[in-house]
Structure 1
Amino acid sequence: MNQSKDEQWIKEFIRFLQVEKNYSVHTVKSYQRDIDDFCHFMKKHECFSLTEVTYLFVRSYLTYLHELAYARNSVSRKISSMRSLFHYLMREEILTTNVFAETYLPKKAGRLPTFLYEEEMLQLFDAFQGEKPLDKRDRALLELLYATGMRVSECSHLEVEDIDFHIGTVFVTGKGRKERYIPIGSFAVDALKEYIDDARVNILKKGNGETKRLFLNYRGGPLSERSIRTILSKRVKEASLHQHVRPHDLRHSFATHLLNNGADLRVVQELLGHENLSTTQIYTHVTKERLRDVYKNHHPRA
């Protein structure tokens, strides 16, 4: 493989994703892994440059992925990553054809998003009790995630000034640096006030006292996405919920509960920060499942 040129082109593409596309670190790493995997396949099969990749070679790569028993979603993601790279190389006039654009993508598995029922959410809130500073932080964290449906990455980057208690909103910077305001209810407002006015001040003293981040770890520094997931897992065990709950499940629960209670789909799309309505529409399938369950369990002749 013509490594010097290929590596330079890939490096420039990754830079393009970071700067022009404003993709998150996690997303960029995912692209890099997919590209590395394909480059390894090229080397193994003596294809020496990205300019030499043909449609038939791509088909052999697809066959290789299926032989390794990759899930359909994983195969689709890998092909999409390479399609984006080749599209970029065409834009830069390095290639004249995007052979990946002609490649059929396997249909993604239609899994419905997992969510907690309202009764389960109440059970989870019961586990987020206590009067210690970290208890108040955790309670504010859960209330905010459920009240807004924001992503964990968005939550971990919030600053204190992003909360407007006067009008009851939070300012969120989402994917691609897209900004939105999300209303927060009275429970979240009360929990956040108690955390900021009391607990956060005490936690901050353990650090250098300079960070503006809203949520802090026990050392007084910014709370990471990984730590948020760890906190939730710990509290779920304490709540004795018989399931694995991820922070993203709170986002799913937020959307599902809004729609179950009559919210407009486009409003939910705006609150979630979805670019396309089709992404939000999956939650209508969830609510239909919920309606079916209620019907089966309560109708005398179901």
Structure 2
Amino acid sequence: MNLGEKILSDLVVALIELYPNIEVETTKNKLSTVLSEYYIQKVKLGEVHPDLEDKIQLFISAKRLEGLSSITLDNYILELSMFADVVKKKAEDIATADKRMYLSQDGSLKMSTIRKKLSVLKSFFSWLASEEYIIRDPTTKLKAPKDEYRLPKALSIEELEMLREACETVRQRAFLEVLYATGCRLSEVYALNIADINQQNRSTLVIGKGDKQREVYFSIRAMYHLNKYLKQREDDCKALMITERKPYRRLSKRGIQREIGMIAKKVGLQDKVSPHVLRHTFATLTLNNGAELVAIQELLGHSSPDTTLRYAKITHERKREQHKKYLIQ
């Protein structure tokens, strides 16, 4: 018995149970005519359901047309692929319980990671419902876990100076100063080209999250060390940060992290320093020095001021100074 005959037989048996008085042969012939117009494939146990794979592809295509960044699309693809590997069902058969099971299967996940996973699932199933591929969105009952409030790590002025003194090459010092002075994300600095640097204004334009463009600035010190690094280069690579050896090419994000890690290791700060910590340090020290929160929000590329507020931790000395300066006697 082939697959089509097996499905036909199963359907007829199910119909007889529901409607004992039906004409078996007439029903069988009618169903046979209908099924002959379709290609039928059985989903094997343990396989990702092809329907869910198809819906994921449609979703990604739609989001690509909406102009989402390649980074966001890659995150969607990765997360939904992992979900499909665990929940092997048709999209319309997936229930809220399936999503709870998926999100809770790894007890070691941080709340922030679970929130990101849930955000992708909500976006996917909300789209399926809006496009009428499913009747209702099963993620509406799922609430995001509460935020784990943790103050960002930031270096003290003394630790920052230790890193500066630990730089052994012009290249290392340039990388350190650029990351600190601009407050850029690693991905933003990685993508910069030499031609992007406005020498006159000591600034550059970067593309941040959501493909949003913003202007960031270099300090006089950062500009000095960056130009010193660029002048000693003898390559024709357009990238701002390149590999140390031939063939010269754009230095990878991991390569930039490694350079910063090497500097930190020399002063015993290898467990505390990363490109992202330098971004935190830029925000914290600048705020402590009196910068307006709105300005820091713009410089960091935060869409919400609440995100920037995480950096607004000031020292006891700064609090005492603010109290003395602004209290009306």
TM norm structure 1: 0.82
SS at match of 2:283: helix
Is 1:291 the counterpart of 2:316? The answer is yes
Structure 2: distance between partners of 1:84 and 1:102? 14
CA, structure 1 residues 128+63, in 2 after alignment: closer, same or farther (shift >3 Å)? closer
SS at match of 2:216: strand
Task: Measure how far apart 1:24 and its partner are.
Answer: 4.4
Q: Is the 8 A contact 2:170 2:225 kept in 1?
A: yes
Q: Which residue of 2 aligns with 1:248?
A: 276
Structure 2: distance between partners of 1:155 and 1:181? 12
Structure 1: distance between partners of 2:317 and 2:147? 24
CA, structure 1 residues 60+183, in 2 after alignment: closer, same or farther (shift >3 Å)? closer
Q: Which residue of 2 aligns with 1:127?
A: 166
Q: Is the 8 A contact 2:194 2:239 kept in 1?
A: yes
Is 1:31 the counterpart of 2:40? The answer is no
Question: 1:178-226 CA deviation, whole Å, 9 max, x = no partner?
Answer: 111112111011111111222x2x2x2xxxx3x3111111221111111
CA, structure 1 residues 59+166, in 2 after alignment: closer, same or farther (shift >3 Å)? closer
Q: Which residue of 2 aligns with 1:300?
A: none
SS at match of 2:83: helix
Gaps of 5+ in 2: 1-42, 321-329
Task: Measure how far apart 1:264 and its partner are.
Answer: 0.3
Structure 2: distance between partners of 1:64 and 1:128? 44
Structure 2: distance between partners of 1:62 and 1:177? 28
Q: Which residue of 1 aligns with 2:141?
A: 102
Equivalent positions of 1:116-265 (< 5 A) are 116-129=155-168, 135-198=169-232, 200=233, 202=234, 204=235, 209=236, 211-218=237-244, 219=246, 220-241=248-269, 243-265=271-293
Task: Measure how far apart 1:21 and its partner are.
Answer: 4.3
**Residue identity (%):** 32
Is 1:6 the counterpart of 2:52? The answer is yes
Q: Which residue of 1 aligns with 2:25?
A: none
Structure 2: distance between partners of 1:169 and 1:63? 45
Q: Which residue of 1 aligns with 2:20?
A: none
Q: Is the 8 A contact 2:205 2:216 kept in 1?
A: yes
Alpha-carbon RMSD across the aligned residues, in angstroms, is: 2.3
SS at match of 2:204: strand
Aligned length: 272
CA, structure 1 residues 173+75, in 2 after alignment: closer, same or farther (shift >3 Å)? closer
Task: Measure how far apart 1:37 and its partner are.
Answer: 2.9
Q: Is the 8 A contact 1:21 1:176 kept in 2?
A: no
SS at match of 1:100: coil
Structure 1: distance between partners of 2:298 and 2:64? 25
Work out which of the residue numbers 111, 119, 126 in structure 2 matches 1:80. Answer: 119
SS at match of 1:172: strand
Q: Which residue of 2 aligns with 1:277?
A: 305
CA, structure 1 residues 17+249, in 2 after alignment: closer, same or farther (shift >3 Å)? farther
Indicate the structure whose relative CO is greater, using CA pairs within 8 Å and at least 6 residues apart: 1
- Greater shift after overlay, 70-79 or 177-186? 70-79
Question: 1:60-93 CA deviation, whole Å, 9 max, x = no partner?
Answer: 444534xx34322222222111111112223333
Structure 1: distance between partners of 2:174 and 2:79? 37
State which structure, 1 or 2, has the greater radius of gyration over its C-alpha atoms. Answer: 2
Question: 1:43-72 CA deviation, whole Å, 9 max, x = no partner?
Answer: 2xxxx211112234334444534xx34322
Structure with the largest fraction of helix:
1
Q: Structure 2 counterpart of 1:31, which letter? A: Y
Q: Is the 8 A contact 1:22 1:176 kept in 2?
A: yes
CA, structure 1 residues 13+292, in 2 after alignment: closer, same or farther (shift >3 Å)? farther
Q: Structure 1 counterpart of 2:75, which letter? A: S
Q: Structure 2 counterpart of 1:94, which letter? A: Y
CA, structure 1 residues 157+19, in 2 after alignment: closer, same or farther (shift >3 Å)? farther
TM norm structure 2: 0.76
Task: Measure how far apart 1:293 and its partner are.
Answer: 9.9
